[in-house]
């Protein structure tokens, strides 16, 4: 499937590349939450992590770790948000697996935690039973 990111990989759309290897590329997001916002993108256009081999996911995270270090060193980021919008209901706009690495600075005023809910009586325990990995 063709996506904006496959077009970037095939040089049909320009991008600023920070890294590339056989499994992924890392580029600057064109509309950054903060300047220096990076996308680590799987070369294969897996729509979500459900479609992606675990070895590839592990490799993407190894690149995320390197990007995190660069953002801290070169931009003096105090922290990063590392985000996968994993499907359209989660706000994914480009259906091609990518990991956002967003530099954060103390008091930068950006918010990432959505409003939270509360569990009813016994609901937390029931949810735990339902979701436990076998």
Judge whether 100 counts as a catalytic residue. no
CA 117 remoteness from chain centre: 24
Question: Which of 37, 96, 98, 100 is labelled catalytic?
Answer: 98
Binding range to ligand AMP, per CB under 6 A, among 17-25, 53-61, 91-99, 115-123: 91-99
Binders of ligand AMP in range 8-27 (CB under 6 A):
13, 15, 27
State the number of CA atoms in the 13 A half-sphere of 13 facing the CB. Answer: 12
Binding mask 95-134 for ligand AMP (x = CB under 6 A): ----------------------------------------
Min CB(115)–ligand AMP separation in Å: 19
By CB under 6 A, what part of segment 58-87 binds ligand AMP? 85
- 30: contact with ligand AMP by CB under 6 A: yes
DSSP notation for the chain: ---HHHHHHTTSS---EEEE-SSEEEEE-SS-SSTT-EEEEESS--SSGGGS-HHHHHHHHHHHHHHHHHHHHHS--SEEEEE---SGGGT--SSS-EEEEEEE-TT-----PPPP----TTHHHHHHHHH---
Q: Does 88 bind ligand AMP (CB under 6 A)?
A: no
42 counts as binding ligand AMP under rule CB under 6 A: no
- Catalytic residues, by residue number, are 98
């Amino acid at each position: 499937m063709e996506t904006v990111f496959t077009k970037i990989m095939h040089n049909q759309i320009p991008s600023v590349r920070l890294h590339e290897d056989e499994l992924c590329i890392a580029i600057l997001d064109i509309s950054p939450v903060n300047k220096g916002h990076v996308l680590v993108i799987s070369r294969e256009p897996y729509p979500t992590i459900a479609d992606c081999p675990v070895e590839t996911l592990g490799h993407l995270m190894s690149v995320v770790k390197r990007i995190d270090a660069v953002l801290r060193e070169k931009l003096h980021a105090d922290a990063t948000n590392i985000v996968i919008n994993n499907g359209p209901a989660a706000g994914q706009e480009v259906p091609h697996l990518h990991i956002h690495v967003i530099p954060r600075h103390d008091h930068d005023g950006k918010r990432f935690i959505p409003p939270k809910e509360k569990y009813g009586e016994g609901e937390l325990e029931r949810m735990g039973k339902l979701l436990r990995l076998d």
